[in-house]
């Protein structure tokens, strides 16, 4: 989940948390020399026992995969990564605050190009959140003008790659796939039009919203539809998002309902 957070500088010698405004990272961490870095990412904070090389490798593979898929330029500057264990005071306080607000265990701040994840390295959820936020970071750092990209696409790409990559392709997300199959079995509509029109104020954190965003984006990816063209044309003004989506992805004379049916058929085919 992409969250825009406000950062503050602590007056103390050590970085500290200040709540209740979700302020977590302070500039002291970012001023420290990176522990590990490459052209894409720089790890500035890492708990003892965490394999920074593996984290950097995983992040870089996702970055390369997304850049190749969407034909994106390299990032202007590396994204800064801060990792905290939930067993640390800072990490546990973050999670305590998170449980009462947005349930997030990580976030990416495009303003400072900082990515934060809290969790245990031996917990699969840690890697899911890391991959999810890395995907947001790639979109924003490689596309400085992409603030206007729709929520369905931002979250769709992040959920598509949150399972990691294999041979530079995203792994099928079985959790999202099973949820969508259940969604379909209950005869709930995919409602692509409603998904496309979601904005920051109307986006919810429900499983349905994220699963539907994953379903549409995964269908576009694995069926080879021209997503890079859609991304390149996005800075152009004037067209509504529905019109932009239809021109980019629908076949001649195809309707959104027919596109939705094809998407559902693809989902069913992956679960057989």
Segment 158-194, tens digit of pLDDT? 999 999 999 989 998 888 898 898 888 888 878 888 8
Domains, the chain, with CATH or none? 27-146 (3.40.30.160), 151-270 (no CATH)
Per the model's pLDDT, the better-predicted residue between 33 and 5 turns out to be 33
**Structure token digits, residue 264:** 């559902």
Per-residue confidence (pLDDT) for residue 262, from 0 to 100: 93
pLDDT beyond 50 at 130: yes
Find the mean pLDDT for residues 93-115: 72
pLDDT beyond 80 at 64: yes
Per-residue confidence (pLDDT) for residue 241, from 0 to 100: 84
Per the listing, tokens 């949150």 go with 162
Bridge partners of 36, per DSSP, are 43
Helix (H, G, I), strand (E, B) or coil at 232: helix
**Structure token digits, residue 74:** 């390299």
Per-residue confidence (pLDDT) for residue 5, from 0 to 100: 32
pTM of the predicted model as reported, rounded to 2 decimal places: 0.84
Find the mean pLDDT for residues 225-246: 80
Using pLDDT thresholds of 50, 70 and 90, give the confidence band for residue 12.
very low
Using pLDDT thresholds of 50, 70 and 90, give the confidence band for residue 199.
low
Per the model's pLDDT, the better-predicted residue between 133 and 87 turns out to be 133
Segments in the chain forming alpha helices (H): 27-31, 52-70, 89-99, 124-142, 151-161, 174-185, 192-196, 207-222, 227-233, 241-249, 256-270
Per the model's pLDDT, the better-predicted residue between 208 and 156 turns out to be 156
Min mean pLDDT across 7-11, 44-48, 65-69, 128-132 is at 7-11
Using alpha carbons, select from 123, 108, 100, 104 the residue that is nearest to residue 47. 123
Direct distance between the N- and C-terminal alpha carbons of the chain, in angstroms, rounded to an integer: 30
pLDDT beyond 50 at 1: no
Using pLDDT thresholds of 50, 70 and 90, give the confidence band for residue 11.
very low
Per the listing, tokens 């490689």 go with 142
CA distances for 184 relative to 203, 208, 214, 261, angstroms: 21, 11, 14, 11
pLDDT beyond 70 at 69: yes
Per-residue confidence (pLDDT) for residue 60, from 0 to 100: 94
**Structure token digits, residue 225:** 């539809």
Range among 13-22, 97-106, 215-224 rated most confident: 215-224
Per the model's pLDDT, the better-predicted residue between 23 and 53 turns out to be 53
Find the mean pLDDT for residues 119-136: 92
Between the CA atoms of 81, 70, 163 and 82, what dihedral angle is there, to the nearest 10 degrees?
0
Per-residue confidence (pLDDT) for residue 187, from 0 to 100: 81
Per-residue confidence (pLDDT) for residue 132, from 0 to 100: 94
pLDDT beyond 80 at 225: yes
């Amino acid at each position: 989940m992409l969250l825009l957070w406000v950062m503050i500088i602590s007056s103390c010698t050590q970085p500290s948390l200040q709540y209740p405004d979700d302020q977590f990272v302070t500039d002291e961490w970012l001023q420290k020399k990176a522990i590990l870095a490459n052209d894409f990412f720089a790890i500035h904070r890492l708990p003892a026992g965490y394999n920074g090389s593996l984290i950097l490798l995983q992040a870089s593979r996702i970055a390369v995969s997304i850049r190749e898929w969407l034909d994106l330029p390299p990032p202007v500057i590396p994204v800064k990564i801060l990792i905290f264990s939930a067993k640390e005071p800072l990490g546990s306080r973050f999670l305590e605050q998170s449980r009462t607000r947005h349930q997030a265990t990580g976030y990416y701040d495009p303003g400072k190009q900082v990515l934060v994840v809290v969790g245990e390295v031996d917990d699969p959820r840690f890697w899911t959140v890391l991959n999810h936020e890395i995907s947001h970071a790639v979109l924003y750092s490689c596309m400085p003008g992409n603030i206007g990209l729709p929520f369905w696409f931002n979250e769709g790409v992040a959920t598509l790659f949150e399972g990691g990559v294999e041979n530079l392709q995203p792994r099928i997300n079985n959790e999202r796939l099973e949820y969508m199959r259940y969604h379909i079995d209950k005869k709930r509509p995919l409602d692509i039009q409603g998904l496309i029109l979601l904005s920051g104020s109307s986006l919810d954190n429900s499983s349905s919203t994220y699963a539907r965003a994953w379903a549409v984006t995964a269908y576009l990816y694995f069926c080879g539809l021209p997503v890079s063209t859609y991304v390149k044309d996005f800075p152009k003004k004037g067209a509504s998002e529905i019109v932009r989506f239809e021109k980019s992805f629908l076949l001649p004379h195809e309707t959104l309902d027919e596109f939705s049916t094809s998407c559902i058929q693809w989902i069913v085919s992956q679960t057989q």
